[in-house]
Structure 1
Amino acid sequence: MSTPKRQVHLAAHFPGVNSTTVWSDPRAESQIEFASFEHFARNAEKGLFDYLFLAEGLRLREHKGRIHDLDVVGRPNTLAVLAAVAAVTEHIGLVGTLSSTFNEPYELARQLATLDHLSNGRAGWNVVTSPDAFHGANFRRGDFLDREDRYARAAEFVSLAKELWNSWDAGAVVADAAAGRFLAEDALRPVEHRGPHFAASGFFNVPRSPQGSPVIVQAGDSPAGRDFASEHAEVVFSRHASLEDGKRFYRDVKGRLAAWGRAEDSLKILPAATFTIGDTPEEARDLARQTALAQVGPQTAIAFLEQAWARDLTGYDPDGPLPDIDPDYGGAGVVAGRANAATAGPEQVRRWRDLAAAEKLSIRELVIRLSARESFVGTAAQIAETIDRHVQERASDGFVIVGTTNPYGLDGFVEKVVPELQERGVYRTAYDAGATLRDTLRLTAPREARVAVG
């Protein structure tokens, strides 16, 4: 008897604050107007995706002291958008990025539990551990967390949120024709927490949500991030999308689960990937090249190198060779507000120079190479086959699909690749009736919180 094929899980990433999105595309529309979010959400639901995913920007990026407007500028509040999207969808999960550094557990737990109720159990939280003073300047904290401290704060934050969500039993609110609605005896427990980062006292004021608690998503890749994921996360938004790299990451993170008494399927690993579909492989490769040139225009190429060189490179030709000067290692930098903006060290610069010389790459061509996400390029059947292989060989449990235009970038995938996956028998043909996000992801009941009390 043959073993059933592993099923593919898919999430849809709304265009975010990065150079993946081609805002110069003539079909590109507003990143603020609700019509963009509505089209994207309805189309992802048409494609039977597990959930849609919104990133969040808490401050405008800056470059050389000015607003960096090459990617995207405005970014509305994530929870407000997800609440609105809940009203125009029925099945798809709603996952938003929300910082554990610049929020408080009680208030965020209330907001997420409320979204879970409003959506009938479709809410998820992508926990990010923002460390920097640039974003902190807009918050009472007004400073930053050392990188070794941010996961300690996040762990306490998530544990306390879980304790708040779990303080209501299922069915705690009882309806009675004569007495109206009342609390069942001993169905609600007070929360008393005093820890290094947070305090909470009293009763949580939102009843237990339809799926027990929102699904926890996380994207950290450091050793501390992987440990955090193995304890708390139910989905990992990974950058390890190639087959062999994905297998290594999959084994490492899922190998940590047993220490927390967790099974392999209690955590889904979904790397991010873009796609380009052509009627032939050759057409797909040509379209992918055109897209890359649109994503990394001349200004973007120079800006990328300036972030690494930490100095003004305006005078250099983006279609010419790399700068003949070294990075300003002692400088203050030119970029603020970009995640993972790193200054190149001597060895990294040497490797870039060697690569550019060996392959005769211009600045722009090198930046395209360095900034490219994992991308599926080919016919719809080829892309479906690649996705299926990753899942069957345990390089991932599926993918977060990132379109390159807003809001229509997902349309081709839904129209062409999804039917191919269904034909292979590895993707649903309908949502389960009444399913929560946890059900759709085939996750177990939420784990009880373990809160460290100081």
Structure 2
Amino acid sequence: MSKPLKQIHLAAHFPGVNNTTVWSDPAAGSQIDFSSFVHLARTAERAKFDFLFLAEGLRLREQGGQIYDLDVVGRPDTFAVLAALAAVTDRLGLAGTINSTFNEPYEVARQFASLDHLSAGRAAWNVVTSWDEFTGQNFRRGGFLAQEDRYERAKQFLTAAQVLFDSWRGDEIVADKESGTFLADPDVGRFQHRVSQFDIAGQFNVPRSPQGRPVIFQAGDSEEGREFAASSADAIFSRHSTLEAGRAFYTDVKDRLDRYGRGRDELLILPAATFVLGDTDADAQEKAALIRRQQVSGQTAIKFLEQLWNRDLSDHDPDGPLPEVDPLVGENTIAKGRASVRMHRDPLDVARQWRELAATKNLSSREVIIEVTGRQSFIGTPSKVAETINEFVQTDASDGFILAPHLTPGGIDEFADTVVPLLQERGVFRSEYEGTTLRDHLGLAAPRNRDENRDENRNRATERAAS
């Protein structure tokens, strides 16, 4: 018997201004006007995507004390945008990145529970940590945490938020309309949670939402990030761009689930991906090369080089060879906290790899950055792109993709009109939404509340004792 076809999950990323967006293209619109968010969301919903995803920026990006062109437009508040989009969409999931380093569990839980109510069960939370020192300057906790401390805080933050979500079971209040009174459990919303990062106790004031809890996403690719996702997340992002690397990541993360008592279908692997479509594969490749050069200007290439080399390279020629000197190892003075905890665990080894790449392909500094910063990209005719996406999913290199268009707001229009129908014809993507909540779209079961978890643990203990 042949293996049944997996259903592909698709989402749209509203990128804002970053090294994916070509904001200088004449076809690009505003990165901040609400009409841009509406256009992308409605296109994604028309194409029956699972959700729309927003990143978060708590400070304009800067380097060497200066703001640079990747973030000059600024970023509106995630919750405000998603709440507004809930009013102009019906089924599309609404996922937002909210930081666990500089927020508090009570306020974040309250905001997500409210969003889940406003959207009738379509909220999702991408739990991230902050890695840079200058973001901390916007908050009373300056500086940045070491990697192990950031992940420990994130785990405790998520657990605390789940305690708050579960403080309502859903049936504690009964309205007596004749007398005009409410019959309420006096312990409704009561919580107490004392751990090293949080010492909180009180009463949560938002009733249990349609999904119980928002869908939880996690974006870390490190050992700590993979383990965090396996223990606590519903989906994890990935940056792996080849079938071989994707399958290795998929297997690694899925294999971690068993030790947390979770099934392999309880965590989805969703890499971010870009795409370029053309009338022919050659036409698409030509367009893709032009777009990559627009995405990585000479100035942007220098910024990426500085993050690895930890030096002022403002006089370096981006169209010349890589710097001859080695990176400075130690505290990062170009983007504090960034290189040491994010991409470059071993700057000298990364520089060696980049030099080998440059020598093998005869690449300039800018061309190296274009190659090493590219996401998983689907390039070709709509038929070729549909075939490639399906191959990744059916061969367990991913469960779907979060598509990051290079144009805002019309960047996914062509994909929705040409690639999606081909996936539907293959029987691997929905033609209509079958459920109403984001958990329905993703095939995720409703989360157990604290009482249900306690009862299940008791039953398991009883079964073990009896055996």
Same fold, judged at TM 0.5 (above): yes
User: How many residues end up aligned between the 2 structures?
Assistant: 450
Q: Which runs of 5+ in 2 are unaligned?
A: 455-467
User: Residue 141 of structure 2 aligns with which residue?
Assistant: 141
User: Residue 444 of structure 1 aligns with which residue?
Assistant: 445
> Which one is further off, 230-239 or 343-352?
343-352
**Could you tell me how far apart the structure 2 residues matched to 1:329 and 1:147 are?**
17
**Could you tell me how far apart the structure 2 residues matched to 1:179 and 1:207 are?**
22
Q: Please report how far the alpha carbon of residue 134 of structure 1 lies from its aligned counterpart in structure 2 after TM superposition.
A: 1.9
- Contact persistence 1:306–1:312 (CA under 8 A): yes
Q: What does 1:230-379 align with in structure 2 at a 5 Å threshold?
A: 230-329=230-329, 333-335=333-335, 340=342, 342=344, 345-379=347-381
**Could you tell me how far apart the structure 1 residues matched to 2:115 and 2:70 are?**
33
Q: What does 1:375-386 align with in structure 2 at a 5 Å threshold?
A: 375-386=377-388
Q: Which runs of 5+ in 1 are unaligned?
A: none
Q: What does 1:423-442 align with in structure 2 at a 5 Å threshold?
A: 423-433=425-435, 435-442=436-443
1:323 is aligned with what amino acid? P
2:437 is aligned with what amino acid? T
**1:191 aligned counterpart, secondary structure:** strand
**Could you tell me how far apart the structure 1 residues matched to 2:26 and 2:183 are?**
56
2:168 is aligned with what amino acid? W
**Could you tell me how far apart the structure 1 residues matched to 2:359 and 2:132 are?**
35
Q: Please report how far the alpha carbon of residue 64 of structure 1 lies from its aligned counterpart in structure 2 after TM superposition.
A: 2.4
- Contact persistence 1:302–1:313 (CA under 8 A): yes
Q: Scaled by the length of structure 1, what TM-score is found?
A: 0.93
- Contact persistence 2:344–2:350 (CA under 8 A): no
Alpha-carbon RMSD across the aligned residues, in angstroms, is 2.2
**Could you tell me how far apart the structure 1 residues matched to 2:251 and 2:332 are?**
39
**2:363 aligned counterpart, secondary structure:** coil
**Could you tell me how far apart the structure 1 residues matched to 2:270 and 2:82 are?**
21
User: Residue 120 of structure 2 aligns with which residue?
Assistant: 120
2:385 is aligned with what amino acid? I
**Could you tell me how far apart the structure 2 residues matched to 1:125 and 1:432 are?**
22
Q: Please report how far the alpha carbon of residue 47 of structure 1 lies from its aligned counterpart in structure 2 after TM superposition.
A: 1.2
**Could you tell me how far apart the structure 2 residues matched to 1:165 and 1:382 are?**
44
Deviations 1:293-348 (A, max 9, x none): 11112222222222222223333332222233333446853235868364873333
**2:97 aligned counterpart, secondary structure:** strand
- Contact persistence 1:273–1:375 (CA under 8 A): yes
User: Residue 11 of structure 1 aligns with which residue?
Assistant: 11
Alpha-carbon spacing, 1:346–1:235, altered in 2? closer, same or farther (3 Å): closer
> Which one is further off, 62-71 or 386-395?
62-71
* Identity fraction in percent: 57
Alpha-carbon spacing, 1:187–1:51, altered in 2? closer, same or farther (3 Å): farther
Q: Scaled by the length of structure 2, what TM-score is found?
A: 0.91
**1:29 aligned counterpart, secondary structure:** coil
Q: 2:411 aligns with which of 409, 412, 415?
A: 409
Alpha-carbon spacing, 1:385–1:105, altered in 2? closer, same or farther (3 Å): same
Alpha-carbon spacing, 1:180–1:226, altered in 2? closer, same or farther (3 Å): farther
**Could you tell me how far apart the structure 2 residues matched to 1:346 and 1:76 are?**
37
**1:335 aligned counterpart, secondary structure:** coil
Q: Please report how far the alpha carbon of residue 162 of structure 1 lies from its aligned counterpart in structure 2 after TM superposition.
A: 0.9
The answer as to 2:157 corresponding to 1:157 is yes
Alpha-carbon spacing, 1:259–1:342, altered in 2? closer, same or farther (3 Å): closer
Q: Please report how far the alpha carbon of residue 426 of structure 1 lies from its aligned counterpart in structure 2 after TM superposition.
A: 0.4
Deviations 1:33-84 (A, max 9, x none): 1111111111111111101100001011112221112454401110111111
- Contact persistence 2:17–2:23 (CA under 8 A): no
- Contact persistence 2:124–2:215 (CA under 8 A): yes
